[in-house]
Structure 1
Amino acid sequence: MDGYAVSRASLSHEEKLSLIDDRSLSDVESESARIDFEGRFSTIQWASTAKSYCNGLRLSSWSSMILKTGMFLLPSFIQHRCARERFRTEKLHPTAYLDGMRGLAALFVFFCHYFYTAFRIAEGWGHDGANHEIWRLPFIRLLYSGPSMVCIFFVISGYALSLKPLKQTRSRSFDGFSKTMTSFVFRRFFRLYLPPLISTFGVLILLRFGIYEMTRDFANDRDYMHNVIEHHPVLEETLRKQLRHWMGEMYNFVHVWGWEKFGGATGYDVHLWTIPVEFRCSMILFLVMFGTARLRTGVRFVCIGLLMWFVLRSDKWEMFLFLWGMVLAELDLIRGAHEPNTAQSTSAPEPLLPLEKTPASVPERRKSCNFLWTFLSIPALYLMSEPDAGPDGNPGWEYLATYIPEWFSDKYRYYQMIGSIIFVFCTARSVSWQRFFNSGVVQYFGRISYAIYLMHGPVTHTVGYMVEEWAYDITGTEGSSYNCGAVLASMINIPLVIWAADVFWRAVDAPTVRFTKWLETKLSVED
């Protein structure tokens, strides 16, 4: 099945936006409905020639299948340009920058999980008077700060899931709102759980073929793993026991009855704990939207504000971020950020003040507003750079830690949470940031973001560990030699994960979107 076969014409803008997520990172999900990936990368002429040549030959079924499989395994940015004009441009919807932001967040989560086995990345710069490496500095550490990216996932998810329903409630289209919400509630489970169901079953298959056994010793060897030793999936004695174990893990994966930390995490991929969090918060967000749909705007903001205080005081930071995503979506609707007259460019909507529309022909004001919101995003990025090991012992952060409430349990998430909200708020008003997140490469990562989230664990624990062992055997595992080995392995493993995510996106992620929509159509009553 080709992931790029989805037709954009069959989906409204809000429906496309509702499919994005995190996944992560989350939150992290893939906007797999927007799959016609064109106009981003240069044409690979040899691939086009090879495809035309293969189509012109009379081949046996086996040869044809092998050739088609080989073409499918090519990265999508090569395939999609094989028979297209070279520099075809594509209009982006007004919130496309959120796709790019989510894509980079998924990539940085992968970097976090990849490098924390080798390096102590949780401590900040100058932790306890040491650790003065440049990569620990604020802003730079965001390149591998997984928890900060998870916060970004949740804000974007709240925004994406709220935008269309809020637009309908504000226009008093309550029949459309009801239809949208029933569709969202029905599809959310399948959208979030079908891809990881398939990816973890793939892990089961690899386990039974002994692929994970080939790297088990390496995965637990302290000569190679200088920091975190991740859980390596367990091989059961028989296939029947393995299937029972997997089914039990998947049953627990649908973790809706509790709020335990990392609740629902599965031993087949420990990184997927955010998926149950996404589902649980999504359902509560839908309930909130139902309950406040007929309220006046001001009253709705008051109710949401009180609810946000309640969930934050209850130490539910993830739900707090979802609700803030809802608030940011309505603020954008109020200021007309998604109206056609402000959103028809391929780059980004014009910067606007929070609650007012910008008059036409005010380029100087637009320029100054862009500078203002871009400048204000800098302290937001600093807050997102809060060390994952906590603020204690870090210059500057020790002072800020005095303002973290005692009842807030995950101290390291407090400023990461605040920073992510401010950053998304500022980016919605900054043309400079939107232009960056709308760039071709960043948008590509947005498309495969959910697949990156699902694939980086299995790929790293199998082929990735083999590559790492080979690299460390070449360079050694002591001192600077160890660092060289890590860099050498990453030069192979990072592209490998991106390639696997690209294939999974087209083979699994996109078809599940089509399947879910088809299933809803078949099971729903006609209007």
Structure 2
Amino acid sequence: MRGVAAFCVFLCHYFYTCFVIAVGWGSEGSNYHFLKLPFIRLFYSGPPMVCIFFVISGYALSLKPLKIIHSVSSPTSSSTISSAAHGEKQQEHNDYSKLLDTLSSLVFRRGLRLFLPPAISTFLIVLLLRLGVYEWNRSFASDAEFLRNVQEIHYTRFDSATEQFVDWGYAVLNFVHLWDWDAFAGSTGIDVHLWTIPVEFRASMVLFLTILGTARLKPGVRMGVVMAWCGFAFLWERWEMCLFWMGMVLAEGDVVREMEVKQEKGREEGGLSERRGGGGVLPIVEPTAVAMTGDVMLMPQQRPHKSRRHPQPHPGATAQGVSSDMYIVGSEDEASHSSTYPHSSNNLSSTSSRRRSGSAPLLSTTPSISYPFYESRQARPSATTSLLPPSPPGHAILPTILLTISLYLLSQPDINSHLTPGWITLTSLIPPWWTEHYRFYQSIGAVIFVYAVSRYSSSAPTAVASSTMTAPIFSSYFNPRTFFESSVAQYLGKISFAIYLVHGPVLHTLGYTVMNFVWTQMTGTETDGQYIIGFLLASLLVVPMVVWVADVFWRGVDEPVVKFARRVEERVVVAGG
């Protein structure tokens, strides 16, 4: 999901230089091109993707700390220690100590993870500028004949290299902007697209403080408190913080369900042990269907673990892990190595096929667990189907309804939604104090979208009772998770942060060069048809170039930065910390 969203952001910044894409279909009695219709416009819309990023980030950053918090009072964990009061207190102390260690690590490495790659990417821009590469297209970058809509800042070349690098240094210092909540505070003219990174950092710090402050609350109370804060943030138009907190709420719900599944599984295995040999004397052989691989798609991809009971991390996980995390997701350790996808429900066929093919889970780096939404009403699963009961008929109908609603809300036009058919009434309901109208429904849609997609199964089960085939058949024909779990989406997830960082300079150098050549030497721009054909021809080179440069940056910069942050932490923390 991250990778696809990052690619859509790139397309937004590519398309909006040439075409008016911010207005909706039918706005102001014109703009009737079908590409501006709801749903379709999401393929090249950037702002909705930012909202999705922030929900994902809140989920990923809070998942591991929340798992630790729940382990304090988990019956599963408490059964492994002495029942004496002293032993229970010692276990609780150890768990909270682990929580503090985790939060300390997240806070310490967050700045390095978020700010060091952009510092390197902008430094490379300065080098290209001094080498004269940016001068190739300086006149083109401001020529309205070619770039007919948005003409982005084309970084200025100073008279001396010293002035240039001093300006870069000041820009980097200003980029690490912590001191106010202006959405574009810290943004730099070196690459105007990077404004979300300071926002991500500030929101992450508040999220970590929230986790710490609510750590000792009961789960229901904690969720209520965070939901109240979401509402308070929404009233103050702090949409970014609201999305981070809603990601935490989704993670809390998943952790609660996971603990319930573990407890239920423990009771089932306990009963099986008593039937076989009593007291667990005889070994219990798990059914093959109990194999659970990660099915989530909000985090960077990892290969399935070889062991179910003691999963091993992906090669290089301690230093790299989810190195391809999106700029709003954070580093591999910030997104738990035991992540589970929100509200996912796995099945034997999907997990087994992924193990055989070696395809990577989309969020989790350790086994995830399906959630028994209908446990009390279904028969126990057989060893040939799934750990959990088959889903009841129609289980994909509600997610599909929610998905449709979320996609429509995400399609809110960035400009003049109050003049757009289908949005006039909805826009009138936006509170008058909201200055960025387009963020209102896009934020709501992002939360619903992440939740709705997560409610689909990875793929339709093959071994289920005939009475339960309605929903699996339906979801097999319309299952967004199949798309997000594809190899292309997984690859884009790996390089998503790099796509975000390099697509700007690639467009301003190689991209503008190709576009200029195609329009001036091949198609011309005299008619709209010539202009569009030239743009499409240029895209055949520009899009692959952005992906290739992003891949190089991911391998050469992004992954080493993750390892570097981990090494720095290991060297400076106190012994036993």
Could you say whether these structures have the same fold, taking a TM-score greater than 0.5 normalized by the shorter chain as the test?
A: yes
How far, CA to CA, are the matches of 1:370 and 1:519 in structure 2?
46
* Structure with bigger RCO (C-alpha 8 Å, 6+ apart): 1
Residue 310 (structure 1) shift: 1.6
Contact map agreement 2:411 2:442 (CA 8 A) in 1: yes
Deviations 1:252-273 (A, max 9, x none): 1011111123111111100000
Superposition RMSD in Å: 1.9
Aligned to 2:167: 245
Which of 544, 551, 557 is equivalent to 1:508? Answer: 557
Partner of 1:447: 494
Alpha carbons of structure 1 residues 182 and 347: separation in structure 2 relative to 1, 3 Å: closer
For 2:439 and 2:259, how far apart are their aligned partners in 1? 30
| Equivalent residue, structure 2, for 1:39 | none
Structure 1 position 400 matched with structure 2 position 322: no
Deviations 1:11-58 (A, max 9, x none): xxxxxxxxxxxxxxxxxxxxxxxxxxxxxxxxxxxxxxxxxxxxxxxx
Matches within 5 A, 1:314-463: 314-336=236-258, 344-345=292-293, 349-350=344-345, 360-361=380-381, 365-366=391-392, 368-431=394-457, 432-463=479-510
Q: Cα distance, 1:371 vs. partner?
A: 3.5
> Aligned pair count?
427
Separation in 1, partners of 2:170, 2:261 = 47
Aligned match of 1:231:
153
% of aligned pairs identical? Answer: 48
- Which has a greater percent of helix? 1
Which residue of the other structure, out of 137, 155, 158, is the alignment partner of 2:58? 158
Native 8 Å contact 2:27 2:416 kept in 1: no
- Given the alignment of the two structures, is residue 301 of structure 1 paired with residue 301 of structure 2, yes or no? no
Alpha-carbon shift at residue 229 of structure 1 (Å): 0.5
Q: 1:477 aligns with which of 508, 511, 525?
A: 525
Cα offset for 1:302?
A: 2.0
Deviates most, 128-137 or 357-366: 357-366
Contact 1:281 1:322 in 2 (8 A): yes
Instruction: Work out whether 1:125 is the aligned partner of 2:36.
Output: no
Asked if 1:221 corresponds to 2:131, the answer is no
Q: Is the 8 A contact 1:467 1:492 kept in 2?
A: yes
Q: 1:410 to 1:524 in 2, by over 3 A?
A: same
Q: Cα 1:207–1:369, aligned 2, differ >3 Å: closer, same or farther? A: same
CA distance in 1 between partners of 2:259 and 2:417 (Å): 37
Specify the alignment match of 1:59 in structure 2.
Answer: none
Once the two structures are superposed, residues 42-82 of structure 1 have per-residue CA deviations (whole angstroms, 9 ceiling, x without a partner) of: xxxxxxxxxxxxxxxxxxxxxxxxxxxxxxxxxxxxxxxxx
- With 296-305 and 152-161 compared, the bigger mean Cα shift is at 296-305
* Counterpart contact for 1:331–1:354, Cα < 8 Å: no
Question: Which shifted more, 339-348 or 306-315?
Answer: 339-348
Question: Aligned equivalents of 1:344 and 1:518: distance in 2?
Answer: 31
| Equivalent pair of 1:126/1:395 in contact (CA under 8 Å) | yes
Whether the aligned pair in 1 keeps the contact of 2:140 and 2:516 (CA below 8 Å) is yes
Partner of 1:89: none
Q: 1:438: how far off?
A: 1.3
What amino acid does structure 2 have at the position aligned with 1:312? F
Q: Is the 8 A contact 1:117 1:227 kept in 2?
A: yes
Alpha-carbon distance between aligned partners in 1 of 2:104 and 2:192, rounded to the nearest angstrom? 31
What residue identity is the alignment partner of 1:501?
A: A
Query: How far off its partner does 1:356 sit?
Result: 7.2
Equivalent residue number for residue 42 of structure 1 = none
Structure 2: gaps (5+ residues) = 73-94, 266-289, 297-343, 347-369, 382-387, 458-478
For 1:325, give the aligned amino acid: G
* Worse-matched range after superposition: 257-266 or 512-521: 257-266
Q: CA deviation at 1:301?
A: 1.6
Q: Please state if 1:138 is matched with 2:38.
A: yes
Match of 1:491 among 537, 540, 551: 540
Question: Quick check: 2:418–2:428 contact (8 Å CA) kept in 1?
Answer: no
Distance 1:380 1:222 in 2: 36
Report 1:80-229 matches (<5 A): 101-172=1-72, 173-229=95-151
> SS at the partner of 1:184?
helix
Contact 1:353 1:429 in 2 (8 A): no
1:422-481 deviation per Cα after TM superposition (whole angstroms, max 9, x unaligned): 010111211233232111110100010000000100000001100000111121113111
Query: What is the identity, as a one-letter code, of the residue corresponding to 2:161?
Result: L
Pair 1:199–1:411, CA change in 2 (3 A): same
Q: Deviations over 1:364-399 (max 9, x none)?
A: 635622342133211110100001114121101011
Cα-to-partner distance string for 1:274-330 (whole Å, 9 max, x where unaligned): 000000000010011110001111211221122112211111110110000000111
Counterpart Cα distance in 2 of 1:281 and 1:167: 21
Aligned residue in 2 for 1:286: 208
Q: CA 1:442/1:337 → structure 2, altered by over 3 Å: closer, same or farther? A: farther
Tell me: CA distance 1:418–1:337, structure 2 relative to 1, closer, same or farther (3 Å): farther
SS in structure 2 at match of 1:392: helix
Deviations 1:169-200 (A, max 9, x none): 11122111111000000000000011101000
* TM-score, normalised by the number of residues in structure 1: 0.78
**1:417 shift after superposition:** 0.5
AA of the residue aligned to 1:318: E
Cα distance change on mapping 1:524 and 1:136 into 2, 3 Å: same
SS at match of 1:369: coil
Aligned partners of 1:337 and 1:230: how far apart in 2? 50
Tell me which residue corresponds to 1:525: 574
- Shift, 1:145, TM fit: 0.8
